Amino acid sequence: MAKMTFGGVEEDVVTRTEFPLKKAQEVLSKETIAVIGYGVQGPGQALNLRDNGFNVIVGQRKPSASWDKAVADGFVPGETLFELEEACEKGTLIMFLLSDAGQISLWPTVKKHLTAGKSLYFSHGFGITYKDQTGIVPPADVDVFLVAPKGSGTSLRRLFVEGKGLNSSFAVFQDATGKAREKAIALGIGVGSGYLFETTFQKEVYSDLTGERGVLMGGIAGMMEAQYNLLRSKGHSPSEAFNETVEELTQSLIVLIGEKGMDWMYANCSTTAQRGALDWKNKFRDAVAPVFADLYESVATGNEAKITIEANRQSDYRVKLEAELAEIRNSEMWQAGTAVRSLRPERA
Name the residue ranges covered by the structural domains of the chain: 2-200, 210-342
Residue 37 · residue 102 · CB < 8 Å: yes
Q: Identify each DSSP E strand in the chain by its residue range.
A: 2-6, 9-15, 33-36, 56-59, 81-82, 93-96, 119-122, 143-149, 166-174, 193-198
Domain 210-342: which topology? N-(1-d-carboxylethyl)-l-norvaline Dehydrogenase; domain 2 (1.10.1040)
| Per-residue pLDDT reduced to its tens digit, 164-223 | 999 999 999 999 999 999 999 999 999 999 899 999 999 999 999 999 999 999 999 999
Model confidence, pTM: 0.93
How far apart, in whole angstroms, are the C-alpha atoms of residue 214 and residue 220?
7
Q: Which of residues 313 and 348 earns the better pLDDT score? A: 313
How far apart, in whole angstroms, are the C-alpha atoms of residue 201 and residue 206?
9
Q: Is 113 a catalytic residue?
A: no
- Give the model's pLDDT for residue 88: 98
| Per-residue pLDDT reduced to its tens digit, 9-63 | 898 899 999 999 999 999 999 999 999 999 989 999 999 999 999 999 999 999 9
Identify the active-site residue in 124, 157, 183, 232: 124
| 347, pLDDT greater than 80 | no
Count of other CB atoms within 10 angstroms of residue 2: 12
Question: Taking the domain 2-200, which CATH number applies?
Answer: 3.40.50.720
pLDDT level of residue 345 (50, 70, 90 thresholds)? confident
Q: In what order do the strands lie in the sheet with 119-122?
A: 2-6, 9-15, 193-198, 166-174, 143-149, 119-122, 93-96, 33-36, 56-59, 81-82
- Give the model's pLDDT for residue 7: 79
pLDDT level of residue 348 (50, 70, 90 thresholds)? low
